[in-house]
Amino acid sequence: MEYQNPKIPEGINVSQEHPLKDFFIMLLGAGLIIAGLIFTLTLLAGSLVRYVPFELEQQLAASLEQELVETETVKPGRHQQYLQNLADRLVIAQQLPEAMKITVHYMDGDEVNAFATLGGHIFVYRGLLEKMPNENALAMVLAHEIAHIKHRDPLVATGRGLTVGLALMSLAGIADSALAQQVISQVSLLTTLGFSREMERAADNEALLTLKQHYGHTLAADTVFQIFNDLEDGQGLPAFLSTHPQSTDRIEVIDHFQHRHGSHQGTLTPLPSWFNEP
């Protein structure tokens, strides 16, 4: 018997397609699927959240509140009293539902910041208060945070974070690879932020209406954004990466509002004289 060793042509066992082409098609596919998923979840979260009673949100927040109070330096005192008082007046102007209770916490920290969280809690830092020239500017900040609570934004954001996280984890579970998960987490970073910017815009608008209702004008509503603008200079993040819309954009929106509603005339309310004392 005669044996031969014929030459076998190359490329039978190996696909000849360029590996990068394959990779980018798959990456695009995964990106689209995830974007679609997040979009649907966000739409659902926004519309379903209205049916969650505020009491439930407060219960959820109970442990969170404890944690924040323990870790951060919350200082009760006359600042706290004053802030709570102002918030209560704004709540009436903003016509919050009866069940929604707003609690303001004064934080002894240098950060120029204020935020609203689950359960109707608003935290305001000393750093921000020190920069406030009058009550109207401070009222804009508080009204903005109250509007977030009125719109149930903290709950939507938390819920969305959870659902998206869970959805991605199970997706990655099917993938059975920590690395696929890594790819996915990089994609989702850029897509979830856009929606909270919508929330910011809605809260700005609601806050302006509140100021108009309470003071009869919206003077000094843009002060806080001027302050942020000054802070942002030098460390400006591109707009698509930041959760909040650019301060300059927000100042423009306020200008528009003032012209539309003719709310650019009135007198500013000063802060109490002791306000910037320690």
Partner 1 sequence: MFNLIIFLSLLILGYVFGRMAESRHFKSILNREEQLRDILTFNERTLPPGYEQASGELVGGNVVISIDYFKQISAGLRNLFGGRVSAYETLIERARREAILRMKQEARLKGASKIINVRLETASISKGGQDQIGSVEVYAYGTALIPTP
Residues that bind partner 1 (CB under 8 A): 1, 3, 5, 10, 13-15, 17, 19-20, 22-23, 26-27, 29-30, 171, 174-180, 182-183, 186, 189, 241
- Nearest to partner 1 of 52, 180 (CB atom): 180
Nearest to 171 by CA among 46, 31, 19, 23: 31
Least distance from partner 1 to the Cβ atom of residue 182, Å: 6
Least distance from partner 1 to the Cβ atom of residue 178, Å: 5
- Nearest to partner 1 of 175, 268 (CB atom): 175
- Nearest to partner 1 of 92, 190 (CB atom): 190
Q: What angle do CA 9, 15, 16 make, to 5 degrees?
A: 75
Alpha-carbon dihedral 85, 87, 92, 93, rounded to 10 degrees = 120
Q: In Å, how far are 106, 125, 140, 197 from 136, measured between CA atoms?
A: 18, 17, 6, 24
- Nearest to partner 1 of 69, 239 (CB atom): 239
Least distance from partner 1 to the Cβ atom of residue 38, Å: 16
Query: What distance in Å separates the CA atoms of residue 53 and residue 49, rounded to the nearest whole number?
Result: 9
CB atoms within 10 A of CB 127: 15
Do 61 and 121 touch, CB atoms closer than 8 A?
A: yes
Least distance from partner 1 to the Cβ atom of residue 79, Å: 36
- Nearest to partner 1 of 17, 277 (CB atom): 17
HEC letters along 194-216: HHHHHHHHHHHHHHHHHHHHHHC
- Nearest to partner 1 of 20, 53 (CB atom): 20
Least distance from partner 1 to the Cβ atom of residue 13, Å: 5
Distance of CA 220 to the CA centre of its chain: 23
Query: What distance in Å separates the CA atoms of residue 225 and residue 131, rounded to the nearest whole number?
Result: 11
Query: What distance in Å separates the CA atoms of residue 117 and residue 156, rounded to the nearest whole number?
Result: 11
